Chain A
Amino acid sequence: MSATAESKNLIEGKTGPWEVVIGLEVHAQVLSKSKLFSGASTVFGAEPNTHVSLVDAAMPGMLPVINGFCVEQAVRTGLGLRAQINLRSVFDRKNYFYPDLPQGYQISQYTQPVVGKGELIIDLPGGESRTVGITRLHLEQDAGKSIHDLDPRLTFVDLNRSGTALMEIVSEPDMRSAEEAAAYVKKLRSILRYLGTCDGNMDEGSMRADVNVSVRKPGSPFGTRCEIKNVNSIRFVQQAVDYEARRQIDVLEEGGTIQQQTRLFDAGRGETRAMRTKEEAHDYRYFPDPDLLPLELDPEWVARIKASLPELPDEKKARFMTEYGLGAYDAGVLVAEQASADYFEAVAKGRDGKIAANWVMGELFAALNKAGVGIEKSPVSADALGGMLDLLKDGTISGRIAKDVFAAMVETGKPAKTIVEEKGLKQITDTGAIEAAADRVIAANSKQVEQYKGGNANLIGWFVGQVMKATGGKANPAAVNEILRKKLSG
């Protein structure tokens, strides 16, 4: 644990600097066709109460049967977080009454989770990295959904989500700023998506975070924490931490004390509000679920899952840095999403990695952003972008023209070669044509020629510009430069 605060993360208060301490519990819906203990479907967005088995509705005499694939997904996630896999774990009942909890208890894992300690490396702006400890990962059932706004008096219950498998991934209180908390969620989501164990769609609720926040004077023991429940976007995580840290600092600086509390984040107002205090907390009466045997995993099965893990963001990032000569920041951005990493690699294969990275992160990302589409739906395929880079490399087009060609590719979907031919954008490497243009420019600008000859060497750029303009940008800038220098010094 990093007990020493980095000064840039400290929050200035009236009584001096404060350090915020953050731990996260992320609920990630397991990517699986069926629920944790029943065969019902997990498809999002279906008509209410259409994906509900007798088990999910907790009909009398119904029994849970573990879905082996969900366990495999949890183990895969644990391995992806470099965590200890517990070969024996236990499902417990967490008892409480709520209308969208049909059994009157949630089947969860309490003292013996399937995954133990692990770690996650977060990538910070500027290319820095930090390691955040993972405390545990356990499997549990999701509840259904209570809908309060369909009727002024009644609450409706949709059990489609009831029984869906969740992984609760608990971090150590290792984060020290809202940015780090956001980076943690981002990185975790990235790893889950690489692993294919959670789709990470926070707006559909497949990933939600409970954010534990406390503040302290640097070097002091941990302060009392408040837990902000169910924060459902990375931006909100950041806002919630910022607001909550400031609130706690204000309370403490006014001479008050922090009460251990569960709070909610009101995204509309950007603030957190108290839900219940420790005294009002439920007594969940956890005990081992007698309907389920302890979960025992075969070490060979775990080894097979481990062998099948894809290359994960951290390894990919390291490889991009060594194999393509990218900087940490660029490599980090490219590997955040598997699709961008794949796209980049397809472009970079057999080409200059840095140039490929610049184009992907520059022109391509800008175009995607503008169009509001993901890289999976890019109007320019990796092959097409590669083809354009080839034209750039062999001198068919200049860097400047390349930007226009790329814009046309985005617009028309045509390959670079076709656009270059159709628009006659082929670079002029014919020295005769360039020389003619240079002669015309020199003849028409005698004043500048004199200045240049008088020692203003910087004017060469201006001359190049004029020649480029005269050739419609198609002249090879290097050739133009060389020819002009020769002529002007003659």
Chain B
Amino acid sequence: MRMIGHVAVNVFKESVRDKVLYNLVAFAVLLIAVSYLLGQLTAGQDVKIIKDLGLAAIATFGLFIAVFIGIGLVWKEVERRSIYSLLSKPIRRSEFILGKYAGLVLTLLVNVAIMTAAFYAVLAYLDTQFTDTVRASWPAPATDPGMLKAIALIFVELMLVTAVALFLSTFSSPFLSAALTFGLWVIGHFNTDLRNFEAVVESPSAAYVARGLYYVLPNFAAFDVKSQVVHALPVGASYVATTAAYGAVYVSLLLTAAVMVFSRRDFK
């Protein structure tokens, strides 16, 4: 466990050195600039649009970090040949993989936490710009804590994306890993279509295959409750818990597979 912690802290330090946290500046500038421009571009709805944009930006910035750093976690060590010195130390391959994963998840956690704070700060400022009458017409307050449910699920989704990227990077090239991770992320949003495939094809075997893929492929659409929280629609604690559990089990599956593949790799 201590080894995993060491590796994780090193991954986090490396991402700070690689200026990954600079994306937070881009996030803050984006939100502030858009909130300033919105008043001139649209008839009302500033708060709704900032909520939509903020949640989408947290998810997107996180997605890019998860994919592009996730695919390099193992590959970079192999490419630099530092993997030889690492594995010659008293560290198990499973600890190496889990530490790498935990480090990137820690980076994502810090990112998401800071972006969330900036997001709420912009909304709190916007809130002061409206009268009570206008505020009364909103489905939820500007700084509605209910949005944290969506952010929590975004974070679990990012953990899953990271696990996918890490798993793929244990046996394929960075370019292929990135393409496959993005591909799986896109397919994961068409999950409902896979379930209802029999409605569009006549072949029962194709429908069975689609139904099988529906159960096996990661269902990324389940983590998306952004619209619901923006419109203050109920998102039950049981839904959040079940979805988070689904994410956790899937992450465990991918990490186990990643450890298995990595343990069998021959670096001679």
Q: Do A and B come from one complex?
A: no
